[in-house]
Structure 1
Amino acid sequence: MSIDISLLTAFSAGILSFFSPCILPLIPTYLAYLVADYSTKEKQSAKLTLLISAASFITGFTIIFVLLGLSATLLGKFLLRNQLLLTRLGGLIIIVFGLHLTGLITVSSFYQEKKLNLPDSLTGNLKAFLLGIILALGWTPCIGPIFSSILIIAGTKSSLSSGAILLLFYALGLAIPFLITAIFMEQLLPRLKKFNQYLPLIKKLTGILLIIFGLLMITGYLEILNRLLL
């Protein structure tokens, strides 16, 4: 069975994005926003409503991530003649992202956040879908370096489909824990709140993983590992 290190990295990055200090504390708010009348419905009906809304939300950010993966790969195709330089430069940038997440350096521009507000007239699954798009477009300080690293990797791919699939795996990594949380909301939300104390450690570990991956890109060992696992 063949394994693509880039796809595994993208999927893991999606999971780590969910558990980042910027996303995890907001999960209860997102869920409450998706189904504001959760408590007024029968339990079974409310669960189904929440699940459909969560799926709509996930679809929204997945579409944006895949489109961004396509655009990154399209740009990469123009730079294909300098792919070695692009890969090494991308690795260097990813290392900077990693150093920022570990706290060894601070890049102030990573703390800029875009916020978009939905009209009050929007309701239901359309609101959930648009909220997912807003999450994908409104970069937060923690998800920005992680997601940007995956975009850089997508830019080194030689085909459009490769970049799209890479970002699809990232979206899946982010979507699966969100969907599980939506399904088991009553049981998991109290535990997620207790989990907040570990968020700084997860942020640092994510930074270390990005630094390692960046070094693999710069040294060429990433391609060697992929060949060994294919």
Structure 2
Amino acid sequence: MQYLISFLEGIVTFISPCLLPMLPIYISYFAGETTDRPRHKALPNAITFVAGFTLVFILLGAFAGTLGGLLTSHKMIVNIITGLIVIIFGLNFTGALNISFLNRTKRSSMEVKKHTLASSFLFGIVFSIGWTPCVGAFLGSALMMASQQGSMAEGILMLFLYSMGLGIPFIL
């Protein structure tokens, strides 16, 4: 059941008010801005973008799973602390609580001259790092569940499923 929840959290992240309005920007990046660029390159670019953020989230899942394995003897305390963190992130996300460093956005302007699979992969990595405050409540919940599994393999699987829930809509 927790695997399905992790996948569904990824889908909810995709349709969150923070990410969904940005969808046209991502699609235009994948498809390219000019008409002379073949449209068949959009799918490979979308897949490598998803692979980029999946890599980062899987590494986080591996860390959470390993750390969870070390903390199983203190499971009750860990549950309370991580639950409070998720609640705080959720309150911040809804606007009921304002934690300024979670709401900061750093933007830079640069023009991409040539879209490559490597640039799409790097864009996915930057996305996973840059949008963490926006998706923090859902990602934090998935990481919390991964840490409760108690093994690196299960933590990786949990965050892989979260990434697929977030990534499949991008690919579609």
With normalisation by structure 2, the TM-score equals 0.87
Partner of 1:78: 70
Paired AA for residue 61 in structure 1 = F
Is 1:65–1:136's contact at 8 Å kept on the other side of the alignment? yes
2:20 aligned with 1:30: no
2:98 aligned with 1:106: yes
| Alpha-carbon distance in 2 for matches of 1:108, 1:52 | 37
Is 1:115–1:138's contact at 8 Å kept on the other side of the alignment? no
Which fold has the larger relative contact order, with Cα–Cα distance below 8 Å and residues 6 or more apart in sequence? 2
> Shift in Å at residue 55 of structure 1?
0.7
What SS is found at the alignment partner of 1:39?
Answer: coil
What SS is found at the alignment partner of 2:35?
Answer: helix
Is 1:34–1:50's contact at 8 Å kept on the other side of the alignment? yes
Is 1:80–1:158's contact at 8 Å kept on the other side of the alignment? yes
| Alpha-carbon distance in 1 for matches of 2:20, 2:43 | 18
What RMSD, in angstroms, separates the aligned Cα atoms of the two structures? 2.2
Partner of 1:152: 144
Partner of 2:55: 63
Paired AA for residue 84 in structure 1 = M
Partner of 1:216: none
Identical pairs, percent: 35
**Uncovered stretches (5+) of structure 2, i.e. residues with no partner:** none
Where do residues 121-200 of structure 1 align in structure 2 (5 Å cutoff)? Answer: 123-180=115-172
| Alpha-carbon distance in 1 for matches of 2:5, 2:156 | 14
Residues 49 and 69 of structure 1, relative CA distance in 2, 3 Å threshold: same
Task: Render the CA deviation track for 1:15-42: whole Å, top value 9, x for unaligned.
Answer: 111112221111111222233245224x
Task: Render the CA deviation track for 1:102-144: whole Å, top value 9, x for unaligned.
Answer: 3333322320245577784663111111101111111354212
When Rg is computed on C-alpha atoms for both structures, the one with the higher figure is 1
| Alpha-carbon distance in 1 for matches of 2:113, 2:42 | 19
> Shift in Å at residue 95 of structure 1?
2.1
Residues 135 and 166 of structure 1, relative CA distance in 2, 3 Å threshold: same
With normalisation by structure 1, the TM-score equals 0.67
**Uncovered stretches (5+) of structure 1, i.e. residues with no partner:** 181-230
Is 1:11–1:173's contact at 8 Å kept on the other side of the alignment? yes
Matched pairs, number: 172
Residues 79 and 118 of structure 1, relative CA distance in 2, 3 Å threshold: farther
Residues 134 and 86 of structure 1, relative CA distance in 2, 3 Å threshold: same
Task: Render the CA deviation track for 1:73-106: whole Å, top value 9, x for unaligned.
Answer: 1122221211122122212222222233333333
| Alpha-carbon distance in 2 for matches of 1:78, 1:122 | 45
Is 2:7–2:161's contact at 8 Å kept on the other side of the alignment? yes
Q: Which 4+ stretches in 1 moved above 6 angstroms?
A: 116-119
Is 2:149–2:155's contact at 8 Å kept on the other side of the alignment? yes
Paired AA for residue 143 in structure 1 = V
